[in-house]
Chain A
Amino acid sequence: MSDLFQAVTDYSPYLWEGVQVTLALSGGGAVVALVVAVTLGLCAISPFVVLRVGSRVVVEFFRGTSLVVQLFFLFYVFPLFGIDLPGMWCGIIGLGLNYGAYGSEVVRGSLNAVAKVQWESTTALSMSWSMAVRRVIWPQAWGLMLPGLNNLMVMLVKGTAVALLIGLHDLTYWVEVMRKDPEVGLWIAYGVGFLLYYLVALGCSSGLRLLERRAQRRLGLAPSKTRTTRATAEAVA
């Protein structure tokens, strides 16, 4: 136990740095991924064929090719064309595009899952496509897509570990450094790695769960607190 304590104390500044890099990659990647996912998802259901086909091609490309190769491409090949991005940027853009492509399928699926009759109501009220999406369809789809996006968010957090391959000093990098230290037990290094990733992922998914519950309450899907209380009171009486 004292070994563990010793190792954690010795490495805590480095682990903290690693967690920060992992958080930055996760947060930045998530923002880029969300923008990509929403844009591609909306294009996929738009009335314009060009946008639908374009979205399909982009999604298939980024889903169908390896994330590691995409990162290497950004990091090693882009500089040959004079685009020299710092590693962190490469990581955020690469992760964002890749997970955004997956996310766009969640967005598309959720938009399509909104009842067709809701679209018909917007037509009957002469709302335009963009107004219908913005005011009626999207708010309903949002609650539906959050569980799927949450799933991807957790995968993204863990997926940031590939950033090690383009030289970023993220959590995995420091865990590797710990592992190579003969004074630190193997199980300690990886145990700490497990735990820290788990905590970061847990934090992210709890935040999204909160958003999900709020969205569902707004749609009247989950019973509001007062109604539950009243129902309980009635049941007791």
Chain B
Amino acid sequence: MEDVAKRFGKNTVLDGLNFTVERGERVTLIGPSGSGKTTILRLLMTLEELSGGYIYVDGDPLTYAKRGNRRVKLPNKEVTRIRKRIGMVFQQFNLFPNMTVCENIIEAPVHVLGQSKEEARAKAVDLLDQVGLRDKIDAHPSSLSGGQQQRVAIARALAMEPEILLLDEVTSALDPELVGDVLEVLREVARETDITMLLVTHEMQFAQDVSHRVLMFDEGRVIEEAKPEVMFNNPEHERTKQFLQAIL
């Protein structure tokens, strides 16, 4: 991300933000609400319009490109091409209620990536195995618990074989006893794959277990950056200490 800015009306959320995530790296974004961490994920997923600056995925500009001194908006087709490499899991699961679990998972692989139904379904079975919900393959999302829905949502995002996975407070909407299963699934994804991950979470133990690096945000800026052991045990910045004390 280079000089990234995001304004909602007159409210500036991000201004001149710069950071880089290496391929295969897992980075956790922490910070008080309103600090801009979710906005970063939403900008990467192109759910928000970038107000300034550039985002590069593996060197390719995502929504805006530099042409000489000008900042030009990229055509939709180009954006879609790059965006296919990014997947996202939301706080509210957002499964499609008009489809079964299997249909939710294979919808985009079949209709966006052009896989055959059989191929996509076979992969869906594997993914559901991975998240421990194979027996729910033909269930309706409304008959699943929040934790199960979120695990299906993870499978759905993985079915697109993203290089980058964005996790936006994926356990915040869950009952406490359902959080564990979802985190366990994500731990396994982190262990078994080399997908680059950007996560926003309040589960500090989880963040410490899976991430390589933690960025502390405040008012749209990275105020501290460290390995998780350091960040959570010996933060340097006063604001980070306050924040961690408040939530732990």
Chain A positions near chain B (C-beta within 8 angstroms)? 115, 117-118, 120-121, 123-128, 131, 135-136, 139-140, 218-221
Contacts and interface: CB of A to CB of B under 8 A. Distances in A.
Nearest to A142: B98
8 contacts: A123-B46, A124-B45, A124-B86, A126-B80, A126-B83, A135-B107, A220-B140, A220-B142
A121 B90 contact: yes
Contact of A127 (B87, B94, B98, B111): B111
Contacts of B112: 125-127, 131
B157 interface: yes
A128 B126 CA distance: 26
Contacts of A115: 94
B176 interface: no
B178 interface: no
Contacts of B98: 136, 139-140, 218-219
B87 A220 contact: no
Contacts of B157: 124
B222 to A, nearest CB: 24
B103 to A, nearest CB: 9
Nearest to B141: A220
B47 A123 contact: yes
Given A135-B111, A220-B142, A117 B160 contact: no
Most buried by B among A131, A218, A219: A219
B88 interface: yes
B156 A125 contact: yes
A125 B108 contact: yes
A121 B96 contact: yes
Contacts of A140: 96-98
Interface string B108-151: 10011000000000000000000000000000111100000000
A127 B140 CA distance: 21
A175 to B, nearest CB: 44
B39 interface: no
B151 to A, nearest CB: 16
A48 to B, nearest CB: 12
A139 B107 CA distance: 14
Most buried by B among A115, A117, A140: A117
A78 to B, nearest CB: 42
Main secondary structure of the interface of A (DSSP, over half): helix
The 4 tightest CB contacts between A and B, nearest first, are A220-B142, A125-B108, A139-B98, A124-B88
B156 A220 contact: no
Contact of A121 (B80, B83, B84, B94): B94
Contacts of A117: 90, 92, 94
A33 to B, nearest CB: 24
Given A124-B88, A126-B84, 6 more contacts: A124-B157, A127-B107, A128-B80, A140-B97, A219-B97, A221-B142
A41 B4 CA distance: 36
Interface in B61-119: 80, 83-84, 86-88, 90, 92, 94-98, 107-108, 111-112
Nearest to B98: A139
A124 B83 CA distance: 8
Contacts of B88: 124
A131 B107 CA distance: 10
Contacts of B95: 121
A127 B45 CA distance: 13
A127 B143 CA distance: 25
A131 B80 CA distance: 13
A220 B72 CA distance: 44
Contacts of B87: 124-125
Contacts of A220: 97, 140-143
Given A131-B112, A136-B96, A120 B140 contact: no
Nearest to B107: A135
B173 to A, nearest CB: 11
Contacts of A127: 107-108, 111-112
Contacts of B45: 120, 123-124
A125 B97 contact: no
Contacts of B46: 123
Contacts of A128: 80
A51 to B, nearest CB: 16
A126 B47 CA distance: 11
